Each structure stands twice: as C-alpha cells, then as structure tokens.
Chain A
Amino acid sequence: MAPADSTVNTEPTGLRRRRRRPLEQGILLLFAAAATVSILVTVGIVFTLANEGIDFFRADQVNVWTFLTGTAWVPVEDQWGVLPLLSASLVIAGIAALVAIPLGLGSAIYLSEYAPRGVRSTVKPVLELLAGMPTIVLGFFALDSITPALHALGIVPEKQLFNALAAGIVVGILITPLISSLSEDALRAVPQAMRDGAYGVGATRRVVSTRIVLPAALSGVMAAIVLGVSRAVGETMAVTLAAGTQPNLSIDPRDPMQTITAYIVQVSQGEATRGSLQYSSIFAVGILLFVVTLVINLVAVRIVRRFRTVYQ
C-alpha cells in the first residue's frame, strides 16, 4: 500500500470542489438496495427450502438416509424413498439429451459453418421462437401428437397414455434451441484465421468443422449441453402432462414415471395443508432438485473456466 504523502501536494488547485448532492446519494442508495434484492432472493430460496424441508426430516416416519436410498415413494403408506422420483427426472433428462445433443449441435454447426447469411438470419429467430414456447404447450403437444405417434409406430404399447419417452422427446425439443444457440455462439467465436489456415492446407468444410472449430469451441459447447441438461431436470409442466403422476423406479422409457417436479405439482394441486407431511415433503424434494440443478450449473461454469481457450 503506497503511503500517502501529506507534505507534497501535486494535486492542481483551483478546481471548484464538486457540490455534494444528497438527493443523488439517496437515489444511489436505493439503487444499491435494489441490487441486493437478488442476493435476498437466493438467501430466501435457501432459507425457505431448508426451513420448511426440515419439518419433513424431523418427522418420525422419515430420516435423511431412508429418504435418499428408499426405493418406494408411496406417500399414503408413509413410504418416502426419493429414488423413484430422482431416477425419473434423470431418465427423462437423459432421453432429452439424446434428442437434443445431435439436433442442437448439428443445427449449431450448420448455422455457424454451412449456412448462407440469409438462411442464418431467418432460421435463428425461428429457432428462438421454439425456445420461448411455454412448456405447457409442449406438454400438450406430447399428449396430443407425440404419444399417439409413438403408439402408431408400435414403440409404446397402446394402453400406456403416459410414458417417459414422449416426455423425454418433448423436453429434448425444448432444450434443442438452447443448446444450439449457446453452441453456435461458441463456434462463431473461433477466429476465422484458424479456419482459413485449415482450408489453406486443403481441408474440407467437414474437416474444418469437426477437427478445427469444434475442438476450439469445446468448452462453450460442453457448457451449453450441461446447461441444457440442467434445464431438462428442472422442467415441470411438459413432464407432468406427458409422463404421468405415478412414482415408478424404472429405466424403461415406455413406462409412466413421476419426476420430482411432477410430484410437487401433484401435491400443490391437492389440498395439502401446512404442517402435514405431504406439504413439507415438496420442500424436501425441492431441496434435492435445487441441489442437483445447482451442481450441474456449477459444473458448467467450471467447464467454461477450465477448458476455455482465449483467442485474440
């Protein structure tokens, strides 16, 4: 720390001292308060989840261990093992990733490397329209179109109206534009000189895309995928409508399943009064959901930091 020198005053004198403006400082204080609201929201989420969720774990019927490792979720019989809900969330997110990674990454490569400018500038906003689609719409679409299509193709037996496959496909459709738009940004950030160099030694467009641009943008692309998966885990309405409300520890995508989010919706629709175990159970599974998505998001941040290469 540089010592302040009081004897030598190099500051030019004669400038009029700026007038203090109390009103401005008051407004600034208000603005700063607004900025801290975001912190308060985070604190509020953590506090309320913990506060209401703790009632659940205090009850005689449950403890943390049976909650995390139990394989049956039957609230009316006091069986509170969360694995069926968690596995359903992960299975559906997995299906969604299988749908969205090829579609999203393919679209990103096409838009960034192949598409003429005119095509790009029209296709991009249209894809963003898909990204802004309310999830309830996609849930209805799954029930109304995708499940009947799966029935017709014979993939899902006719009697299964609710199934994880339709839910996973529709969530995949939902996160495709997210993955494509974030990946495209990463691909376009790769400097043109690297492409030109590769073209100069005779590489084809495919080789440039897959061996030069994609590896160079890998951190951004991976972060996009991870964020998409996080979005899929937290997705609610589409999975509630399409996958049903029956807890089921299964990895068969043709089965109906209830995800964490669908369970919260189911309880909220009914009349679970405050103080009941059902009421506090939605906060307990909410904690789990919050932690899972937070970990996934932090992984995305870590990926970007760790693998980022900065090009001038």
Chain B
Amino acid sequence: MATNAQPTPAALAEPRPLAKKRLRPADAIFHIAVLSAVLIALGVLVWLLVSITISGAGAIDWNFLTGKVSTNADRAGFGSAMRGSVVLMLITFSVAVPLGFAAAIYLEKFANVTREQLLGSAHLRRRKLNEMIAHGESGFGLRRQRLAVRAAFAWAKIGPRINRTVEVNISNLAAVPSIVYGLLGLALFISIAGLQKSLLAGGLTLALLVLPIIIIASREAVRAVPVSIEQGAMALGASRWQAVSRQVVPAAFPGMLTGTILAMSRAIGESAPLIVVGGIVFGTQMPSISPLEANETPLFAMPLQIFFWAQDPRASFQELAAGGIIVLLVVLVLMNLVAIILRNKFQRRW
C-alpha cells in the first residue's frame, strides 16, 4: 500500500500517531488454532486420568494391593505383580547402571578426543623413542616403546572414527522399538544362555533396553560439568583419572541419577519385551523377592498383569485393569517427583 503522495510539511512536523494494530482474522484464527492444539493435548491427558480413576478406583482395597493372582475377580490381587516389578527393577538397575555410568564417563571423558590430540601424543611418544635410540638403549624397553608408538599412530587413525560409530550406534539403539529388545532377550537369554522364562531373563532384557537411555542422559550430566574443574585438579597434580573420579563424577552425580530414575520409570511401564521373553504366566504363588531365586520365579510384573486383565472383556476384570493402572501411575508419579526434587536440590549453575 505504498502511497506516493508527498507528505505535507505539517505532517512531518507533527508525527502521526502510530496506526493502531488491526486485529486481522487470520492472525486470530492462527492464535486460536495453536492454543487449541495445546488445550486438546492437555484435555486428553485429563480425560485419560479421570476416566481411569472412575473405572478403577472401586477396585483398590487392601486385598487388591496385597493379594495374589486369581481367576476370581473378587479375590484377584495386584500384590504379586507389584513384587515382581520390584525384583525386575532391582535386576535392571544393578545391571544397567554400572554399565551405563561407566560407558558414559568413558565416552565423554576419555574417548572424546580429536584426531589432532591423538596425533600429538603419538608424535610425543615417537620423539621419546628416538631419544631412547639416540641414548643407545636396547632390549625390552625399546621394543615396548616401539610398539607403543605404532599403537598410538594406529589409534589416532581409527580411534575417532570408532568413537563416532559408538555414538551414532547408541542414539540408534535408543530408537529401536522395545519389542525388538524382547526378541533379542528371547534369543539371547532363553535360547542361547538357557535361562528360564523368568524374572531374571526379563530384568536383563529391560537392562539392555534402558542402557542407551542411561548412557545418553549420564553423558549429558558429565558434559555439563565445566572442563575448568577437571583442569584445576590436574593442575594440582591429579592424574586424569583422579580428576574425573573425584571431581567430575561427584559433580555430575545428581544429574546422572535423575536420568537413571527417568530411565527406570520407562522400564517399569514396559510390557512388550517382557511378554516376548516370558509370555503371560498365570501363577497363584507370590514371586520370591530374593534375587538368587529370580531365575526360578516366573515373570510377574505390573504392566503384564494389567494387560492380562485388560484382555478379559468382563467388566469386573476391566475394573481390575484400571485399578492396576492407577497403582502403576502413582508409582510413576512418585519416581518422577523424586527425579525433579533431586534435580532442583542438587542442580548447580557453574
């Protein structure tokens, strides 16, 4: 709307008031559209929570929380499933966390070097080797040094590439559908390793499932600690390992723990891989809490029990399924709360 009318001197002297912003219908419609996208998403969440509470609240009583599996809907309880989930989480935690933390620290602090850095240290070694030759040294020490030089150059060539591959690989693993982990667990732990279709096999499968999630989250926590902390320690004479293990890891620990809790909350609601590994069992015994008997205990878990009940079209079992979901969601909310509290309490800004 360009006007080519010459402004009169009066108009120049006295600035016109800025045009009032006109509300265009397209803008208003777009605003309403994006706002309603959020409201619909939130509305669905509310609908879900309310409808499940209505369907399931009646099922929850003391007998439900402690009882065993039963074909009689009045007596059926969620207790064995809850105990099974506790054992599963213990197994998953104790396998995935050491592996995940170690891998994250290694990848972020020790493997994360550029080709130039590696080449630099390889040249340094070669210089030392040449010195040794110049000093007329011979025998084992020299041979060893020669080998070290060769290894250093080889590593400078392939090391960064391997590390990149590992990195891409971990992020790809995190996107593999969980049921594929179930197939892996079935073939690896049941067919090849010969385990029973048990809590042990299920827990190990879930450990493989959450491992990439834990590695990714812990790496981020380690990365958030400034390098200056580590450099300060090393300037005072600490070795790289001492600097990392006594300064970096303690500082990153709350973050690593938060990521771990979130990964465990993923594992506790996971059912597909457990069904593939262990099938749906119908056992009326209470699962043993002892980890030593985990290989003899059939696979009980909260999501499996919910699935079992949800498949039964009778209304009483639908109510039980909803009751189980309420328990599962309460556990999940508690785990998330712990993660949030940890994060808020220990989060440091550097």
State the CA gap A92–B37 with chains docked (Å): 21
Q: Please tell me which one of the listed residues B130, B179, B325 contacts residue A4 in the complex, with CB atoms under 8 A apart.
A: B130
What residues of chain B lie closer than 8 Å to A180, measured between beta carbons?
41
Contact A264 B169 (CB under 8 A): no
Say whether, besides A41-B184, A205-B27, A123 and B48 are in contact (CB < 8 Å). Answer: no
Say whether, besides A34-B98, A282-B183, A110 and B38 are in contact (CB < 8 Å). Answer: yes
Contact B34 A106 (CB under 8 A): yes
What residues of chain A lie closer than 8 Å to B130, measured between beta carbons?
4, 6
What residues of chain B lie closer than 8 Å to A102, measured between beta carbons?
37
A204 within 8 A of B: yes
State the CA gap A135–B272 with chains docked (Å): 9
State the CA gap A134–B134 with chains docked (Å): 68
Q: In angstroms, how far is the closest chain B Cβ from the Cβ of A215?
A: 16
State the CA gap A276–B45 with chains docked (Å): 43
Pull 8 A–B residue pairs with CB atoms less than 8 Å apart, ordered by A: A38-B173, A45-B181, A48-B183, A106-B37, A139-B307, A205-B31, A261-B177, A264-B183
A100, closest chain B residue (CB): B41
Cβ contacts B114-145/A at 8 Å (1 or 0 each): 00000100010011001101100000000000
A36, closest chain B residue (CB): B166
What residues of chain A lie closer than 8 Å to B55, measured between beta carbons?
144
Q: Please tell me which one of the listed residues A110, A126, A204 contacts residue B37 in the complex, with CB atoms under 8 A apart.
A: A110
Q: In angstroms, how far is the closest chain A Cβ from the Cβ of B185?
A: 9
Contact B31 A140 (CB under 8 A): no
Cβ contacts B290-322/A at 8 Å (1 or 0 each): 000000000000010011001101000010011
Could you say which interface size class chain B belongs to?
Answer: 35 or more
Contact B34 A137 (CB under 8 A): no
State the CA gap A281–B180 with chains docked (Å): 13
A24 within 8 A of B: yes
What residues of chain B lie closer than 8 Å to A234, measured between beta carbons?
176-180
Residues from 263 to 279 in B contacting A, C-beta threshold 8 Å:
265-266, 268-272, 275-276, 279
B40, closest chain A residue (CB): A103
Contact A268 B332 (CB under 8 A): no
- Interface residues of B: mostly helix, strand, loop or mixed? helix
| A contacts, CB < 8 Å to B | 1-2, 4-6, 9, 11, 18, 21, 24, 27-28, 30-32, 34-39, 41-42, 44-45, 48-49, 51-52, 102-107, 109-111, 113-115, 123, 125-127, 129-130, 132-141, 143-145, 161, 173, 176-177, 180, 204-206, 209-210, 227, 230-231, 233-237, 241, 261, 264-265, 268-271, 274, 282-283, 286, 289-290, 293-294, 297, 301
Q: In angstroms, how far is the closest chain B Cβ from the Cβ of A12?
A: 13
State the CA gap A35–B266 with chains docked (Å): 22
Say whether, besides A35-B166, A236-B272, A206 and B31 are in contact (CB < 8 Å). Answer: yes
State the CA gap A6–B275 with chains docked (Å): 65
Contact B37 A141 (CB under 8 A): no
The 7 closest A-B pairs by CB, nearest first: A234-B177, A106-B37, A134-B269, A6-B130, A48-B187, A34-B102, A236-B272
Contact A103 B27 (CB under 8 A): no
Contact B45 A126 (CB under 8 A): yes
A290, closest chain B residue (CB): B180
What residues of chain B lie closer than 8 Å to A290, measured between beta carbons?
176-177, 180
A137, closest chain B residue (CB): B325
Say whether, besides A42-B172, A102-B37, A141-B52, A134 and B271 are in contact (CB < 8 Å). Answer: yes
What residues of chain B lie closer than 8 Å to A35, measured between beta carbons?
102-103, 106-107, 111, 166
| B contacts, CB < 8 Å to A | 24, 26-27, 30-31, 33-38, 40-42, 44-45, 47-48, 51-52, 55, 98-100, 102-103, 105-107, 110-111, 119, 123, 126-127, 130-131, 133-134, 165-166, 168-170, 172-173, 175-184, 186-188, 191-192, 208, 211-212, 215, 239, 241-242, 262, 265-266, 268-272, 275-276, 279-280, 303, 306-307, 310-311, 313, 318, 321-322, 325, 328-329, 332-333, 336, 340
Q: In angstroms, how far is the closest chain A Cβ from the Cβ of B330?
A: 12
Contact B105 A204 (CB under 8 A): no
State the CA gap A282–B179 with chains docked (Å): 11
B24, B127, B192, B215 — which one has the most chain A CB atoms within 10 A of its CB? B127
Q: Please tell me which one of the listed residues A4, A18, A135, A227 contacts residue B239 in the complex, with CB atoms under 8 A apart.
A: A18
State the CA gap A177–B291 with chains docked (Å): 36
Contact A206 B30 (CB under 8 A): yes
Contact A294 B172 (CB under 8 A): yes
Contact A227 B322 (CB under 8 A): no
Contact A236 B177 (CB under 8 A): yes
Contact B215 A38 (CB under 8 A): yes
Say whether, besides A140-B306, A290-B180, A264 and B27 are in contact (CB < 8 Å). Answer: no
Known: A113-B34, A265-B276, A268-B275. 5 other contacts (CB 8 A): A32-B110, A38-B103, A129-B336, A231-B177, A271-B279
